[in-house]
Amino acid sequence: MTQASLNLPEALRGALDTALRELHQRIPAIMGCVVATVDGRLVAHIIDNEADPQRIAAMIGSMVALGESIGRETRIDRSQYVVVNASNGLLYAQRVPSRRELFVVSTLARPTTNLGLVLHETRSAAEEIGQAVDGWLEQQQTRLAAAASTAEA
């Protein structure tokens, strides 16, 4: 797995990498997985073809946000995910659910892949990543509270 230069805490980086690696291994027809920040910075990726993960990262946050905007504008509510179905593959992208929606995850798969399987497995990976983010945020809040109480004493 190749990592981006985004500076994440080691525990959080490990959780993201594990979720991505397991997603990539669960479906043999997956050609790649990318985690990016919502503003398009590459966090982690596994790419088996010539696709540029930096460019994918730059686009998937905007793609998910656009899907959400279209859902609201058309009064069908917030989009859950976005799928690009092309002649040589499909790309699935969704926001990582957490208290602070910091990341998006996408999966690139061969056109013969069962879309339902890709949706399910990517959603599961996104939930794992979201739980790791929430756990890290809770640790940070606990540390800040402990530091504040020590400073007051």
The token pair that represents 86 in the structure block: 């092309």
Nearest alpha carbon to residue 108 among 34, 44, 41: 34
The 8-class DSSP code of residue 112 comes to T
> For the residues 14-26, what does the mean pLDDT come to?
93
pLDDT tens readout for residues 112-143:
999 999 999 999 999 999 999 999 889 888 88
| 88-96 mean pLDDT | 95
User: Does the pLDDT at position 19 exceed 90?
Assistant: yes
Average pLDDT for 58-66: 92
pLDDT tops 90 at residue 23: yes
pLDDT at 107 over 80: yes
Q: Is the pLDDT of residue 81 over 70?
A: yes
37: left (phi over 0), alpha (psi -120 to 50) or beta: beta
CATH superfamily of 2-147: Dynein light chain 2a, cytoplasmic (3.30.450.30)
Share of the chain above pLDDT 90, in %: 71
Structure confidence at residue 10 (pLDDT): 87
pLDDT band at 153 (very low <50, low <70, confident <90, very high): low
Task: Give the pLDDT mean for 98-125.
Answer: 93
Q: Return the ∠ at Cα 129 (arms to 86 and 17), rounded to 5°.
A: 80
pLDDT level of residue 79 (50, 70, 90 thresholds): confident
Q: Which of 69, 61, 65 is nearest to 34 (CA)?
A: 61
Do the beta carbons of residue 1 and residue 21 sit within 8 Å? yes
